[in-house]
Amino acid sequence: MPGKGIWSIFLLLPLLAGCTGPLSTLQPAGPAAASTALLWWVMLAGATAIFVLVMALVGIAFWKPGIGRNVPPKRWLVWGGLAFPGIVLTALLVFALVTGERLLAHPGTPGLYSVEAHPYRWAWRFRYADGRESADVLHLPAGRPVDIRVVGTDVIHAFWVPRLGGKIDAIPGHVNTIRLMADRPGTYGGVCAEFCGVGHPAMKFEVVAHAPDDLEAALSQLPQGSP
């Protein structure tokens, strides 16, 4: 019955409480990830509003057949099929564009920290400003914006730390930049989000956000990279 479809939404909502863990986009630990999570919730609300309206109309049609017989078909089409979803989808589009603009790595941000990420089949190597390198573990300062310069190498990969921000492709011959920030010290999971071959499932890494006093100590233990 159509009514069951409406109630199934509310029954499924508690399951979202299980969307936690090291790769959860709904458990943000930074401003970029928080904006992405908010966008997801807003889009879910918009999609739910459209779905509930459609299911309500279907339910009314079954409950009282012929109730809308005196309403011209054109009015149903214009208001129900165009106006309502058009208003909701336009609002979602504007919100998504504004949110996406805030996530771009604009120059001139104070306190900026920069790291290069080099993906290979099937591992990650991170290079810091002093030439030191780390394998499959990215060290960052907590509470400061960080530009990750993702350098394309062998095939197309994608850099993604779900709890800190969105993902960006690593295209051979190109350098793409994404800006992240961890609100607090901690360890966050990262993955390659682009299928790159048989070793793709194991192409994971960790992001360790350090307190200011601990970052230099962690970096001092890393080896110098090749020139």
- pLDDT for 148 equals 93
Q: What pTM was computed for the model?
A: 0.75
Give the residue ranges of DSSP H helices in 64-197: 73-75, 84-102
Asked if residue 70 and residue 41 are part of one domain, the reply reads yes
Query: Is 107 within a domain?
Result: no
Total domains in the chain come to 2
Does 60 fall in a domain?
yes
Residues 95 and 13 in one domain: yes
pLDDT in tens, 136-160: 999 999 998 899 999 999 999 999 9
Co-location of 85 and 118 in the same domain: no
Same domain for 193 and 157, yes or no, is yes
20 and 78 inside one domain: yes
Report the candidate in 144, 163, 208 with the shortest Cα–Cα distance to residue 37. 163
Residue 108 lies in a domain: no
Domain boundary among 102, 121, 141: 102
Give the Å distances, CA to CA, from 130 to 95, 113, 223: 39, 12, 11
| 127 shares its domain with 170 | yes
Q: How far apart are CA 106 and CA 224, in angstroms?
A: 30
Both 28 and 98 in one domain: the answer is: yes
Which of 102, 124, 140 is a domain's end point? 102
Domain that holds residue 18: 2-102
226 φ, ψ (degrees, to nearest 5): -70, 145
162 shares its domain with 90? no
Tell me which residues of the chain have a pLDDT lower than 50: 1-8
Provide the pLDDT for residue 67.
Answer: 75
For residue 137, the domain's CATH number is 2.60.40.420
Backbone φ and ψ for 209, nearest 5 degrees, come out as -95, 120
| Secondary structure of residue 186 in the 3-state scheme | strand
Cα separation of the two ends of the chain = 67
Q: Give the separation between CA 216 and CA 227, rounded to whole angstroms.
A: 21
Calpha distance 181→30 (Å, rounded): 5
Would 226 be classed as within a structural domain? no
The verdict on 91 and 121 lying in the same domain is: no
The dihedral built from the CA positions of residue 91, 99, 162 and 37, taken in this order, carries a sign that is negative
pLDDT at 112: 78
